[in-house]
């Protein structure tokens, strides 16, 4: 989720054997924001100068990490993955704008789909939104992975909600 969604897309492209990837609210906006010197509207440079690190939601971002994120080619590094990808994103995400999630579709080779959840924010902070996120993810993996089950195994039927 969030930066983890970005990392999952990159890892799927770089690690053999990953058969499907589901990205939750990928924060593909981060390199663009950090490259401009801001994160969530806060001035990274001023805080680095004052403290020697940037406090990103209680996580210490060093100047080296800031540089790494600013130079990260999210879409280019994710693009080589050819397995199925589902991107699930809320239309009320005020941290990672939906437009950045849509850009993934331009970089994958027809193997990605975007599911937009109406009313959901970045943190999936309501029970109905979180439930929909989990059910969609489970359905995606079952559909994509059970068809590739090992010989002799029988796929399980999806559980009813």
What's the pLDDT at 21?
Answer: 98
Grade residue 155 by pLDDT with cuts at 50, 70 and 90: very low
Grade residue 158 by pLDDT with cuts at 50, 70 and 90: very low
User: 19 vs 146, which has greater pLDDT?
Assistant: 19
Q: pLDDT tens for residues 33-78?
A: 999 999 888 899 999 999 999 998 898 999 999 999 999 999 999 9
Q: Report the predicted TM-score, pTM, of the whole model to 2 decimal places.
A: 0.85
Q: pLDDT tens for residues 105-149?
A: 999 999 999 999 999 999 999 999 999 999 999 999 999 998 655
**Res. 153: pLDDT tops 70:** no
What's the pLDDT at 147?
Answer: 67
- What CA–CA distance (Å, rounded) separates 56 from 45? 13
What's the pLDDT at 5?
Answer: 96
**Res. 156: pLDDT tops 70:** no
Average pLDDT, stretch 79-92? Answer: 97
- What CA–CA distance (Å, rounded) separates 74 from 24? 15
**Res. 87: pLDDT tops 80:** yes
- What CA–CA distance (Å, rounded) separates 43 from 121? 23
């Amino acid at each position: 989720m969030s930066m983890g969604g970005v990392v999952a897309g990159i890892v799927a492209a770089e690690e053999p054997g990953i058969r499907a990837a589901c990205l939750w609210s990928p924060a593909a906006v981060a390199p663009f924001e950090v490259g401009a010197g801001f994160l969530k509207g806060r001035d990274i440079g001023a805080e680095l100068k004052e403290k020697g690190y940037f406090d990103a939601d209680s996580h210490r971002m060093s100047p080296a990490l800031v540089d790494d994120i600013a130079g990260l080619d999210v879409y280019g590094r994710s693009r080589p993955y050819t397995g199925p990808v589902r991107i699930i994103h809320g239309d009320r995400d005020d941290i990672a704008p939906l437009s950045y999630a849509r850009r993934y579709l331009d970089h994958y080779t027809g193997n990605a789909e975007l599911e937009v959840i109406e009313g959901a924010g970045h943190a999936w902070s309501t029970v109905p939104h979180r439930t929909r996120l989990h059910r969609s993810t489970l359905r995606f993996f079952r559909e994509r992975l059970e068809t590739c089950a090992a010989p002799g195994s029988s796929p399980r039927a999806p559980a009813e909600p």
